[in-house]
Amino acid sequence: MEIDEAREVRTTCPYCGVGCGVLAKVAADGQVSVRGDPDHPANFGRLCSKGSALAETIDLDGRLLHPEIHGRRAGWDEALDLVASTFSKTIAEHGSDAVAFYVSGQLLTEDYYVANKLMKGFVGSANIDTNSRLCMASSVAGHRRAFGSDTVPGTYDDLELADLIVLVGSNLAWCHPVLYQRIAAAREKRPEMKIVLVDPRRTMTADIADMHLAIAPDGDVALFTGLLAYLGQHNALDRAYITTHTTGFGQALFAASALDLAGVAAATGLSEDELGRFYSLFAATPKTVTVYSQGVNQSSSGTDKVNAIINCHLATGRIGKPGAGPFSVTGQPNAMGGREVGGMANMLAAHMEIENPDHRDRVQRFWNAPTVAEKTGLKAVEMFQALADGRIKALWIMATNPVDSMPDADAVEAAIKACPFVVVSDVLAQTDTVRHAHVRLPAAAWGEKDGTVTNSERRVSRQRAFLDLPGEALPDWRIIAEVGKRMGFGGAFSHATPGDVFAEHAALSGFENDGTRDFDIGAYAGIGAEEYEALEPFQWPAPSPATPLWPAGHLPRKGGDRLPPRPSPITNYAGDMRASKLPISPLAGEIAGRSEGGVQAGLKPEGESTRFFANGDFYTLDRKARFIAIRPTVEIRTSPDYPLILNTGRIRDHWHTMTRTGKSPRLSQHIAEPFVEIHPADALRFGIGDADIVRVSSPRGDVLVRALVTARQRQGSLFAPMHWTDQFAAKGRLDTLTAPLTDPISGQPALKHVAARIEKF
Ligand code: SF4
């Protein structure tokens, strides 16, 4: 790649779901520098510690630079032929469900699209699942139950416009730092804004909260069903909204009333006074956003938690309005982009449904595919169990490290070791997963490849290459397409560029979409190479100008129809592009012309971002949202042998299994070693002193970590970060302790709690 020292490349951060814009520059001596993109609407120039240190993590140390077969260097042709022939032979002998792909929220949307197309449309199985299953599957399931679609209603603007932000199971200060900074800045301007944190731990996020509810682990269902009952009892319902736009309210309220306030207090571990103060604040504040992430999703009752939250917003009509709505914040940079292309075992591409024969038929015709998977495939935990019992005989793992990140990690490692044929495509040569692969395929890393990602507010942004591909590394989409060709599906995988893949993905989203499917970026269906290169961040939906507002015969309903939301941010970016002298996409101009109001460049008037459901009209058959009747249950999970509940999570400066952030000494300075937080009373009970080395055990395994005695931790619970592996700390793999227990609806593992014990080492 020719280096232009004056040129900063506009790309996006590869870490969390905030999706910050990054400007990357390569100096003449090869040094890379990064800064926040002041024009990106996720971060407006801000970056957190991880984003700021990106340049320190892109050296070639430890990179996988050439294909390998059984540990010896091989050529691409030999490796790809072996992958294709072994998958084809396995399918021929054992059927299409004998193979599987386990992919990643680190993949770009184009990679995800090609992998999903190959597995669901050409192999004919839905055995493709992703580490996003560990992240936000319960939100997907909750959205689909309530809205009939996987739609995040709100936008980041809503966090700044709200009068009350309720943060549930979300340590935003460390896990989504730039969103936290945006909230903190908004609060500085409007000190009357209130913030409530619901979290068993007093995390750093509590420092900004007016109220911290140190809830018992998994008390969230009781908390929010209790809130619904309170809203009913205190005349705080929006009855007109409930009547016009929802169904099932009566049953939901009845179920929620199973516990009285004293019962909710017992189930949540909160006092009746705390509950009363929170409930009355929620009831009195129309502009309320409830933000939630892994504390809600990573639970055996994750989907019920999501719907308990959504129920309260539907009951008060607080959805799709500026400063109001339930808001799922995703963990990974492209967790939402993977959902858009059907990169999960229970979804088809473009938010279509496997169970829907019309959707299957539409996708099959669009792809001109020999088949389309007819039933849900194996979700992540099920997939590795199928590997263990021999049902899966060939597995391809892409851009993820399940030997360290899956629950019951030792069992997952044993299953991978026993599998007859394992392919891993990765950027690194020696992760705990890569070392078990029969075939290793060198993938392009951040900064070396082009594509798109979608952040938590449905905003699609480009990742752009600014470095040459090292060694023989290739982008994931191309590796998958090459295998597809060698399996005999050539014409379907003849894309020459990631822009071609994006254009096909966009066309599928708009294909026969009469406004009854939420995900539509049909405006980009014909995007050419120049437009793709200049593509500005935009929020979906961005329907094609040819898309009718409503299907023929649709009658406007009393109370007003939801118009397809205006893709107005593009208006801003068209202006920004002129200001920055970047080429202006004709598409951006065309879409800008369709938006109302003549928004000026750089201005972000209230309500301009794309929201869903402002006037009702959900993606159900009757266009009404569903209340879900949820009965709060209280489970006891500890035992005399394992008397504590271990909660797992992230720290500020590391990411996943540290394969990238572990390269930066600066990031490692923040917290240098694995630890476990324990309340002083528990420390006394178990004879633990501050900074002692302790053994934390569950029925599945144990780790050795340093004790941090702190009153920030709830009594009866422990907290330990998920990042360290044996590469960085002896006996540090935390997920050797966690259980393969999943939410029965979403299949998401309950990584937030496992019964555990602690003892001094
Ligand atoms: Fe990257 Fe997330 Fe930090 Fe933004 S907040 S710089 S996306 S890690």
Element (H, E) at 32: strand 32-36
Alpha carbon of 46 to ligand 1 centroid (Å): 9
Mean pLDDT calculated for residue range 107-119: 98
Query: What does the pLDDT read at residue 600?
Result: 27
Pick the CATH number of 644-760 from 2.40.40.20, 2.60.40.60, 1.10.520.20, 3.30.750.24: 2.40.40.20
Kindly tell me if the per-residue pLDDT of 2 is higher than 80: no
* pLDDT in the model for residue 656: 85
Amino acid at 452: T
Mean pLDDT of the chain: 89
DSSP state at residue 582 = P
Read off the pLDDT of each residue in 82-101 and give the average, rounded to a whole number. Answer: 98
Q: Are 168 and 290 in contact (CB under 8 A)?
A: yes
Of 166, 171, 196, 143, nearest to 288 by C-alpha is 166
Mutate to test the pocket of ligand 1, among 11, 12, 20 (most ligand atoms within 8 A of CB): 20
Please return the burial class of 665, using the count of CB atoms within 10 Å of its CB with bins 0-12, 13-18 and 19+. Answer: exposed
In angstroms, the CA 745 to CA 755 distance is 22
3 state DSSP class of 213 = strand
Answer yes or no: is pLDDT of 583 > 80.
Answer: no
Amino acid at residue number 526: G
SS3 for 247?
A: strand
Instruction: Give 524's pLDDT tier (boundaries 50, 70, 90).
Output: very high
- Domain 9-57 matching CATH 2.20.25.90: the answer reads yes
Taking residues 524-537, report their average pLDDT. 94
Which of ligand 1's atoms lies nearest the C-alpha of 47?
Answer: 6
720 neighbors 677 (Cβ within 8 angstroms): yes
Tokens of 255: 């179920």
User: Angle at CA 268, nearest 5°, toward 267 and 270?
Assistant: 125
Cβ contacts of 758 within 8 Å, gap of 6 or more: 644, 676, 678, 682, 686, 688, 694, 695, 696, 697, 707, 718
Ligand 1 centroid distance, CA of 543 (Å): 29
Q: Determine which residue's CA is closest to atom 2 belonging to ligand 1.
A: 16
Atom of ligand 1 nearest to the CA of 51: 6
For domain 137-328, which architecture applies? 3-Layer(aba) Sandwich (3.40)
Q: Return d(Cα 715, Cα 479) in angstroms, integer.
A: 50
Of all atoms in ligand 1, which is nearest to the CA of residue 455?
Answer: 7
CA distance 349 to 366: 11
Ligand 1 center–CA 604 separation, angstroms:
21
Residue 14 CA, closest ligand 1 atom number: 1
User: Rounded to whole angstroms, how far apart are CA atoms 458 and 400?
Assistant: 23
The rounded radius of gyration (Å) of the Cα atoms in the chain is 25
Question: Which atom number of ligand 1 is nearest to the Cα of residue 12?
Answer: 7
Q: How far is the CA of 20 from the centre of ligand 1 (A)?
A: 6
d(CA 661, CA 464): 20
| Burial (CB count within 10 angstroms: exposed 0-12, middle 13-18, buried 19+), residue 574 | buried
CA 48 to ligand 1: nearest atom? 3
From 23, 47, 181, mutation site for ligand 1 pocket: most ligand atoms within 8 A of C-beta: 47
Residue of 368, 344, 366 lying closest to 354 (CA atoms): 344
Q: Which residues line ligand 1 (CB under 6 A)?
A: 13, 15-16, 18-20, 43, 47-48, 50-51, 176-178
Is the pLDDT confidence value at 735 over 50? yes
* Confidence at 660, pLDDT banded by 50, 70, 90: confident
Angle at 349 between CA 489 and CA 615, to 5 degrees: 160
Mean pLDDT of the region 446-466: 96
Q: What band does 724 get if pLDDT is binned at 50, 70 and 90?
A: confident
pLDDT digits (tens, 9 = 90+) for 333-377: 887 888 999 999 999 999 999 999 999 999 999 999 999 999 999
Q: What is the CATH number of domain 68-134+334-498?
A: 3.40.50.740
At residue 301, does pLDDT exceed 90?
Answer: yes
Centre of ligand 1 from the C-alpha of residue 336, in Å: 15
Q: Probe ligand 1: pick from 35, 50, 181, 655, max atoms within 8 Å of CB?
A: 50
Residue 590 has a pLDDT of 32
The ranges assigned to domains in the chain are 9-57, 68-134+334-498, 137-328, 644-760
Q: Cα(36) to centroid of ligand 1, in Å?
A: 10
Report the interhelical angle of 409-418 vs 380-388 (nearest 10°): 50
Which helix (H) or strand (E) is 699 found in, with range? none
3-state secondary structure of 206: helix
Cα(322)–Cα(312) distance, integer angstroms: 17
Q: What value does the mean pLDDT take over residues 432-461?
A: 96
CA of 554 to the centre of ligand 1 (A): 43
Nearest to residue 545, comparing CAs of 490, 482, 590, 576?
A: 590
pTM of the model: 0.91
Question: Both tokens of residue 101?
Answer: 């792909």
CATH fold match for the domains 9-57 and 137-328: no
Q: How far is the CA of 176 from the centre of ligand 1 (A)?
A: 6
Q: What is the 3-state secondary structure (H, E, C) of 397-424?
A: EECCCHHHHCCCHHHHHHHHHHCCEEEE
Judged against a pLDDT cut of 50, whether residue 599 lies above it is answered with no
CA of 16 to the centre of ligand 1 (A): 5
Write down the number of H helices and E strands in the chain: 26, 26
Tell me if 746 sits within 8 A of 137, measured CB to CB. yes
pLDDT value, residue 62: 94
- Cα atoms in the Cβ-side hemisphere of radius 13 Å centred on 505: 37
